[in-house]
Amino acid sequence: MSNKKPLTIDFSIPDVSSILFPCPPVLNSHEAGWENIYLAHYQLPAGEIPEVISPQHTIVLPTLKHTTEVELVVEEQVYITQYLKNETDCIAILPANVSLKARWNAEVEFIHCYLEAKFLTHVAYESANPDSVEIVLTVKYPDPLVWQIVSALKSTLESNPSHSRFYAESMATALAAHCLKYYSIRKHNLRDYEGGLPKNKLTQALEYINEHLHQDLSLIEISTELGISQYYFSRLFKQSTGMTPHGYLVQQRVERSKQLLKQSELTMAEIALRCGFANSSHLAKCFRKVMGRSLKEFRNS
């Protein structure tokens, strides 16, 4: 047994992965300002990482060009797994606060999605003792929903990383609830409220969103303003409005852009910034999705 202590690696810190990997990530979320969830896309040669411990749960999506054998050592227990070339939907989940090290025998490409362990306890606190939240080590398991969510986060970073906090926090909430339901040692039955938000809370939420449309809004800020967890705010908001908070935010930003398109001579770039979009391309994409036609078609109608 080695007496060498594992390295503590906090993935919320920019560039910390350079301690472990010989190449920087080709994509990461740190400049986007996300909270509670971080994402990094790596392309690496065959290699290994030393024994580490992290305060984040790590969700791994491998996208391999070669069949690859991965040896994972968790709390001195050895797991050897073979990942097939171009295999999709299979994920691995590495729990927070446990020691692990890894080795792989071929060039690899993978996405790491890091979820703060404290965030999962925040989502679970109304249904369980936070101290009892423990995520199961999952070496290789098909989960299309997790694959879809993490892939969508990667696409967001590639296309519109600015003003993406709200979306990332929404996805973090969904991932946390999913992990608590399917990957925790103690199964958590998150309480299912009926009837939506109380009228005064709904009014407060709608007013807050509309007053801050031009900003890089945070789901954390709104739920804190209402005195409710992100998970329950998201669920109750959808019950009340039929839309997710992020869906409502995008719709209201598009509505404001419609007013400016008809009532001003502002450029598309200026309208985008005033409505909280990252840029004119982001505005155009959301506008077409909500309205079913292009900005130019609308402005000329």
Q: What domains does the chain contain, in order, with CATH numbers?
A: 7-153 (2.60.120.10), 192-301 (1.10.10.60)
Q: How many CB atoms lie within 10 A of CB 247?
A: 15
DSSP 213-260: TTS---HHHHHHHHTS-HHHHHHHHHHHHSS-HHHHHHHHHHHHHHHH
Alpha carbons within 13 A on the beta-carbon side of 100 = 22
Maximal CA-CA distance, the chain: 74
User: What is the separation of C-alpha 15 from the centre of its chain, rounded to a whole number of angstroms?
Assistant: 19
Q: In this predicted structure, what is the pLDDT of residue 232?
A: 85
Q: For residue 286, give the amino acid letter.
A: C
Q: What is the C-alpha separation between 271 and 260, in angstroms, rounded?
A: 7
Q: In this predicted structure, what is the pLDDT of residue 103?
A: 95
The torsion region of residue 97 among left (phi > 0), alpha (psi -120 to 50) and beta comes to left
The torsion region of residue 75 among left (phi > 0), alpha (psi -120 to 50) and beta comes to left
Range list of β-strands (E), the chain: 7-8, 27-28, 37-44, 47-53, 56-62, 68-74, 77-83, 90-94, 100-104, 108-116, 138-142
Q: In this predicted structure, what is the pLDDT of residue 186?
A: 73
Helix, strand, coil percentages, rounded to 5, for the chain: 45, 20, 35
Report, as ranges of residue numbers, the positions in the chain whose pLDDT lies below 70.
1-3, 125-132, 187-194
Q: In this predicted structure, what is the pLDDT of residue 264?
A: 76
Angstrom distances, CA of residue 101 to CA of 64, 161, 287: 20, 31, 46
- To which residue do tokens 């080590």 refer? 137
Q: What is the C-alpha separation between 292 and 272, in angstroms, rounded?
A: 18
Q: What is the C-alpha separation between 98 and 148, in angstroms, rounded?
A: 26
Q: For residue 123, give the amino acid letter.
A: V
Question: Long-range contacts of range 13-17, CB-CB < 8 Å, 24 or more positions apart?
Answer: 17/42
Q: For the CA atoms of the chain, what is the radius of gyration?
A: 21
Global pTM reads: 0.86
Residue 190 and residue 177 in contact, taking contact as beta carbons nearer than 8 Å: yes
Residues whose CB is less than 8 angstroms from the CB of residue 252 and which lie 6 or more positions away in sequence, other chains included: 209, 210, 213
Q: How many CB atoms lie within 10 A of CB 14?
A: 12
Q: In this predicted structure, what is the pLDDT of residue 131?
A: 57
Q: What is the C-alpha separation between 243 and 266, in angstroms, rounded?
A: 30
